[in-house]
Structure 1
Amino acid sequence: MTLEPPLRKNRERSDHGIDSGGGEPSGGLRAWLVWGTAATVYLLAMFHRNGMSAAALHAQERFDIGPALLSTLPMVQLVIYVLLQIPSGLLADRLGPRRSLLISLGVMAAGTVLFAVAPDAPTAIAGRILIGAGDSLVFLNTIRLAALWFPRRHYSLVSALTGLAGGLGQLVSAAPLSALLTAFGWEVSFLSAGAVNLVVGALVLLVIRDRPDGRRAQTHALLSMRESLAEALSHRGPRVGMAAHAVIMVPFTVLGVLWGYPLLEEGYGLSSHTTGVLLTGAMLLPMSLVPFLGRIPGHYPRARKPMGLGLAWTVTLVWLGVVLWPGGLPPLPVIAGVILVSAFASVLAPSISFDYARDGLPEQRTGAASGLVNMSGFTSVMLGVVGAGIVLDLGLSFQAAFVPMTLLCLVASTAMTLLLRNRRSRAAKK
Structure 2
Amino acid sequence: MSASAPALTLPGDPPGGKRAFAVWGVGVAVYFVAIIFRTSLGVAGLDAADRFHINASSLSTFSILQLLVYAGMQIPVGLMVDRLGTKKVLAIGAVLFTLGQLGFAFSPTYGSALASRAMLGCGDAMTFISVLRLGTRWFPARRGPLVAQLAGLVGMAGNLVSTLVIARMLHGVGWTGAFAGSALAGVVVLVLMLVFLKDHPEGHEPPPPASTHRGAAHIRRQIRETWREPGTRLGLWVHFTTQFPSTVFLLLWGLPFLVEAQGLSRGTAGELLTLVVLSNMAVGLVYGQIVARHHNARIPMVLTTVGVTAALWVAVLTWPGGHDPMWLLVLLCVVLGACGPASMIGFDFARPANPPERQGTASGIVNMGGFIASMTTLLAVGLLLDATGDNFRIAFVSIFVLQAVGVSQVLRLRGRTVRRERERPVASRVEAVHVPAEA
Structure 2 length normalisation: TM-score?
Answer: 0.88
For 1:17, the equivalent position in structure 2 comes to none
Stretch of structure 1 that moved more, 98-107 or 292-301 = 292-301
For 1:140, the equivalent position in structure 2 comes to 129
- Following TM superposition, by how much is the alpha carbon of 1:404 offset from its aligned partner in structure 2, in angstroms? 1.7
For 2:349, the equivalent position in structure 1 comes to 356
Distance 1:364 1:335, change over 3 A: same
Give runs of aligned pairs for residues 148-187 of structure 1, distance below 5 A: 148-187=137-176
CA contact (8 A) 2:67 2:375 kept: yes
CA contact (8 A) 2:7 2:142 kept: no
Distance 1:265 1:66, change over 3 A: same
For 1:96, the equivalent position in structure 2 comes to 85
CA distance in 2, matches of 1:324, 1:407: 16
CA contact (8 A) 1:354 1:370 kept: yes
- Does structure 1 residue 260 correspond to structure 2 residue 254? yes
Which amino acid in 2 is paired with 1:139? F
Which amino acid in 1 is paired with 2:381? A
- Does structure 1 residue 402 correspond to structure 2 residue 396? yes
If asked which structure has higher relative contact order (CA below 8 Å, sep 6+), I would say: 2
Distance 1:324 1:270, change over 3 A: closer
For 1:315, the equivalent position in structure 2 comes to 309
Residues 302-359 of structure 1: CA deviation (Å, up to 9, x unaligned): 2223222322332233334444556676434223212210112213432x11111202
For 1:14, the equivalent position in structure 2 comes to none
CA contact (8 A) 2:262 2:322 kept: no
Residues 177-232 of structure 1: CA deviation (Å, up to 9, x unaligned): 11110000011111112111011011111221111127776761366332122111
Where in structure 1 are there 5+ consecutive unaligned residues?
12-21
CA contact (8 A) 2:231 2:417 kept: no
CA contact (8 A) 2:283 2:341 kept: no
For 2:425, the equivalent position in structure 1 comes to none
Distance 1:77 1:366, change over 3 A: same
SS at match of 1:200: helix
- Following TM superposition, by how much is the alpha carbon of 1:241 offset from its aligned partner in structure 2, in angstroms? 0.9
CA contact (8 A) 1:152 1:298 kept: no
CA contact (8 A) 1:329 1:398 kept: no
Alignment equivalent of 1:229, drawn from 223, 226, 247? 223
CA contact (8 A) 1:319 1:338 kept: yes
CA contact (8 A) 1:160 1:348 kept: no
- Does structure 1 residue 284 correspond to structure 2 residue 273? no
Residues 217-251 of structure 1: CA deviation (Å, up to 9, x unaligned): 67613663321221112212111111111121111
Which amino acid in 2 is paired with 1:356? F
Residues 365-388 of structure 1: CA deviation (Å, up to 9, x unaligned): 201110111111100001111111
CA distance in 2, matches of 1:275, 1:122: 29
SS at match of 2:367: helix
- Does structure 1 residue 127 correspond to structure 2 residue 116? yes
CA contact (8 A) 1:153 1:299 kept: no
CA contact (8 A) 1:115 1:128 kept: yes
Alignment equivalent of 1:387, drawn from 373, 380, 393? 380
Which amino acid in 2 is paired with 1:155? G
Structure 1 length normalisation: TM-score?
Answer: 0.90
Alignment equivalent of 2:361, drawn from 363, 368, 376? 368
Distance 1:214 1:403, change over 3 A: farther
Distance 1:324 1:413, change over 3 A: farther
CA contact (8 A) 2:353 2:421 kept: no
Which amino acid in 1 is paired with 2:71? V
CA distance in 2, matches of 1:427, 1:88: 26
Which amino acid in 2 is paired with 1:362? P
For 2:405, the equivalent position in structure 1 comes to 411
CA distance in 2, matches of 1:406, 1:311: 13
Distance 1:97 1:119, change over 3 A: same
CA distance in 2, matches of 1:421, 1:322: 34
| Count of residue correspondences | 414
Give runs of aligned pairs for residues 65-84 of structure 1, distance below 5 A: 65-84=54-73
CA distance in 1, matches of 2:252, 2:45: 7
CA distance in 2, matches of 1:94, 1:178: 39
CA distance in 2, matches of 1:6, 1:317: 35
Stretch of structure 1 that moved more, 52-61 or 306-315 = 306-315
- Following TM superposition, by how much is the alpha carbon of 1:140 offset from its aligned partner in structure 2, in angstroms? 0.6
Which amino acid in 1 is paired with 2:354? L
Alignment equivalent of 1:377, drawn from 346, 353, 370? 370
For 2:76, the equivalent position in structure 1 comes to 87
- Does structure 1 residue 38 correspond to structure 2 residue 38? no
CA contact (8 A) 2:145 2:292 kept: yes
Where in structure 2 are there 5+ consecutive unaligned residues?
423-439
Which amino acid in 1 is paired with 2:183? G
CA contact (8 A) 1:388 1:401 kept: yes
Stretch of structure 1 that moved more, 234-243 or 90-99 = 234-243
For 1:18, the equivalent position in structure 2 comes to none
Question: Aligned Cα RMSD in Å?
Answer: 2.6
CA distance in 2, matches of 1:269, 1:381: 25
* Same amino acid, percent of matched pairs: 35
CA distance in 1, matches of 2:364, 2:412: 22
Distance 1:178 1:8, change over 3 A: closer
- Does structure 1 residue 269 correspond to structure 2 residue 263? yes
Alignment equivalent of 2:328, drawn from 331, 334, 352? 334
